Amino acid sequence: MPITYQTHFHGASPRGYFTGEGLPGKRVALTFDDGPCDATISLLAEMEKLGVKGTFFMIGDQITASPNARRAAELAAELGHCVGNHTMTHAFLPKVSAKRIGEELDKCSNELPAGASKLFRPPNGCMDERVDAALAKRGLTPVLWNVTSRDWATKDPNKIVSTILSGLSTGLTNVILLHDGDAKNKRDTTATVHAIKTLVPILQGSGYEFVTIPQLMP
């Protein structure tokens, strides 16, 4: 029997998971998946200069990969960014056992820095009823997005910026998916850092307020 699950790329979620889609207010939530890595330190420095906060959905294995990665995770929390769970190994949850789903969530939570949120982003935006149950048991809230940057598909910061700008819901809330790390450690994510340097001033100049995901949720 084929597995059934919900796949989310952008826009409204058919299952009603939080995406930010349609929320009033000219606001932007920058969300970063698959870190932390060396680029995360640079990204945090740039965001401090720009005066904006973001939401980082971290992979447990990435946190434990090196002392620098661990420090990046801790620094994100210390600087006032929101930190959330993105599983321990970036497993494709609909294809693993219910026991493994729980382990992925718990092991990642154990590696997150002190003060981490109870927010969760599913790898690849894919969930099923078993994931729902595991999250509910742990008090975790799934968070998706309504604008994708496709930064994983290019090394060109300008292309990342143009993709985001073309996907914005004008005058409304935008939850933007970006990546400060690579689950397979094959991609240089500094392009995302450079894109943020360009993107944030553009949006600030257009009157957008930058917020974290908890600031959008009731």
Exactly one of 8, 10, 33, 90 is catalytic; name it: 33
Torsion, Cα of 45, 47, 53, 57 (10° steps): -70
Burial class (CB in 10 A: 0-12, 13-18, 19+), 154: middle
Exactly one of 8, 10, 86, 179 is catalytic; name it: 179
Q: 61 catalytic, yes or no?
A: no
Q: Answer whether 85's CB lies under 8 Å from 31's CB.
A: no
Q: 33 catalytic, yes or no?
A: yes
Three-class DSSP category at 210? strand
For 10, 52, 65, 106, 123, the CA distances from 131, given in Å and listed in that order, are 19, 32, 26, 13, 11
Q: Answer whether 127's CB lies under 8 Å from 13's CB.
A: no
Name the residue with tokens 């600087």: 79
Instruction: Please identify every residue annotated as catalytic.
Output: 33, 179
